[in-house]
Amino acid sequence: MNALVPLPILLSLATAIVTIFLGRSLRGKIVVSLGGGGATFVTALFLLWTVWSRGPVVHAMGSWPPPFGIILVADLLSSGIVLLASGVAMVALCYSVGYVEEEGQRLAYHPLFHLLMMGIYGAFLTGDIFNLFVFFEILLISSYALVAFAGEDYQLEASLKYATINLIASAAFLLAVGGLYGVMGTLNMADLSLKIRQLHDAGPLPTIFLLFVAVFGVKASIFPFYFWLPDAHSSAPTPISAMLSGILIKVGAYSILRVSSVIFVPLWPDVQTWILTLAAITMVIGACGALAQSDVKRLLAYSSVGQMGYIILGLGIGTPLALVSTLLFIVNHALAKAMLFLMAGVVIEATGTRDMGGMGGLARQMPWTAGAFLVGVMAIAGVPPLFGFFAKFLLITAAIEAGYGFLAALAAGLAIVTLWYLFAAWQQIFWREGNGHALHAPPRLMKGPGFVLAGVIVVGTVFLNPVVNFLRNVEAQMRQPANYVTAVFEEVSHRSGPSEESK
Amino acid sequence: MTTLLAMTIGTLFATGTFLVLRRNALKVIIGLSLISHGANLVLVTSGGFAGNRPPIIGPGGVGYVDPLPQALVLTAIVISFGVTAFMVVLLYRLYQRTGTVDMDQIRRLRG
């Protein structure tokens, strides 16, 4: 059963390799690429189901027992987010088939996409800090290439900026890893969790923890490390924008969640104020930045910055309710923002401009697109029937309960700003008097995937109770890092026990 | 030994930071690789690097250093080499299209 854990990573790698060697056969590449994506999605479903029924599953790479070898750990949090990532990736892949020009697909698009996914799954599943660094680099270098994929000047510049900031972050990551190893003598997350508990004097560990938060903050685009995001996310090809904004920035939030809930538990009070402050500033910057945009993709990118502020805020408050709201935000933002980017891509394809001033009145010609876009807008802005509302409601309740009245007021105030700029954007694109330009009909494959995501959001809202119950379970498991540690070290006893073959 | 390493690391980071703040994007890339080297050196030092001791257990099991950081650094060097190579290609492409490597001018061309 354990072999299930590395399977999403291996499937993505295998798909990437096969698509490289298919040469210039377009049809073959598309079939293999979609097949690989679909297989990964099914594997992720199966993995989540296994973890749900049996508790955390651990796989020791190369059969080296922890803490010496690299281990992969699937608990509810990691397998849940792998499923989310593989679902969004599948949708983005279908969209890519219609969107990316044929020549690009014949060349390197599909291999790069699957390498990106391999890095993402790896970062979610790994139980080793240095391995996390390696998977980060895999997903980053694929995303640099994908941002610059079409080779326009602005894409190359955005990719260069993105690579520069992330290369500095990687150096900082190595510093943090070096410091951590110097102090603790191990890099296995479960082992670190045990050893930090026994430590009497924290020494330089709070600084190292803060360095990790900063490094992951660059990926999660929290203030002051957000400035690369609006360029990179708006310049990338549309399906890649959806992946970057939907899933990739969540890798940063997930990593902060992981290191703070498993490793640095006793040190949490030292950095909480920092995280809360940065989250508050991020929310303000994202909302204000989005207000000033006229380019639809830049607006969505700035909105991602603001939403990451909410996600990090819930994480910073750290009460069970706040963490459930953070998880709900992650699900909501991954689905809704990916869908908004895909729909924005459809609109840009139809009108030939990214400037919202040049659009208008599209609701008459593309009523379904307008409707789906509205669902996304309502989900992100948190309009009551959709579950974005419940995420915000839980977060504000949690903030008041924990005694952060000011942050609750700020979150509520900025929710109104979010509502304002998103509805203003929708109104500008779809509602007001059109300028009567002829529209190009976008390929059908570009419209379908967005509707799938819109459908998932609506269905998720209908079944809100099971979703929230599931997230409560995820949170309860996160709160007990002992489970994680036991699962990892039980792996050792299982391997030495006689029952290994039957397992 | 520790003092010497600390000074080397400090110099690498200082030079790298200075270069990253230049307008010439090629110098930025060189600065980035200097910073990565500094970080790699920190990682080696964290394993108790002593200069003349091997990272394998010798006869009698004495006089060795922790091999793990050196293995990590190998990985990190390969990764930073790959990323640097990619960035050089990216910059060259940008230079072909815009005729400049000055980041301010590139931004201005974008409008």
B94: nearest CB among A140, A144, A160: A160
Nearest CA among A124, A9, A132, A127 for reference residue A68: A127
Query: What pLDDT, on a 0 to 100 scale, did the predictor assign at position B36?
Result: 93
Chunked mean pLDDT (size 10), chain A, 503 residues: 84 94 86 94 94 88 82 91 94 90 86 94 93 94 91 87 92 92 88 87 87 92 87 90 92 92 86 91 91 89 92 90 92 92 89 81 82 90 84 92 91 91 88 73 80 89 88 88 84 50 36
Q: Does B77 touch chain A (CB under 8 A)?
A: no
- Residues whose CB is less than 8 angstroms from the CB of residue B96 and which lie 6 or more positions away in sequence, other chains included: none
Nearest CA in chain B to A140: B83
Q: Which of B36, B43, B109 sits opposite A177 (nearest CB)?
A: B43
**Average pLDDT value for chain A:** 88
Tell me the one-letter amino acid at A467: V
Q: Which residues contact A323 (CB under 8 A, 6 or more apart)?
A: A314, A315, A475, A478, A479
User: For the CA atoms of chain B, what is the radius of gyration?
Assistant: 19
What is the pLDDT, as a whole number, of residue A436? 67
Q: Please give the average per-residue pLDDT across B35-62, as a whole number.
A: 80
Q: Which of B40, B42, B94 sits opposite A156 (nearest CB)?
A: B94
Across B78-105, average pLDDT: 90
pLDDT at A493: 58
Whether B48 has a pLDDT exceeding 50, the answer reads: yes
Say if B43 is an interface residue toward chain A (CB within 8 Å). yes
Q: Which pLDDT does position A503 carry in this prediction? A: 34
pLDDT confidence of residue A199: 83
| pLDDT value at residue B110 | 62
Say if A227 is an interface residue toward chain B (CB within 8 Å).
Answer: no
Res A231: pLDDT: 87
CB B60 within 8 A of CB B47: no
The ipTM value here is 0.92
Return the DSSP state at A2.
G
Contacts with A418 (C-beta within 8 Å, 6 or more apart), sequence order = A287, A290, A303, A306, A380, A381, A382
Q: Does A459 touch chain B (CB under 8 A)?
A: no
Q: Do A167 and B94 touch (CB under 8 A)?
A: no
Taking CA–CA distances from A158, the nearest residue in chain B reads: B107
Number of C-alpha atoms within 13 angstroms, CB side, residue A318? 15
Across the interface, of A145, A153, A171, the residue whose CB is closest to B39 is A171
Contacts of B79 in chain A (CB under 8 A): 134, 137, 170
Asked whether B106 and A156 are in contact (CB, 8 A), the reply is no
Q: Write down the pLDDT at residue B109.
A: 66
Residue A499 confidence (pLDDT): 41
Task: Count other Cβ atoms within 10 Å, centred on residue A24.
Answer: 10
Residue A321: what pLDDT?
92
* B53 pLDDT higher than 80: no
Cβ–Cβ < 8 Å for B79, A130: no
Question: Does the CB of B25 have a partner CB in chain A at under 8 Å?
Answer: yes
CA–CA min distance A171, chain B (Å): 5
| pLDDT over 90 at B9, yes or no | yes
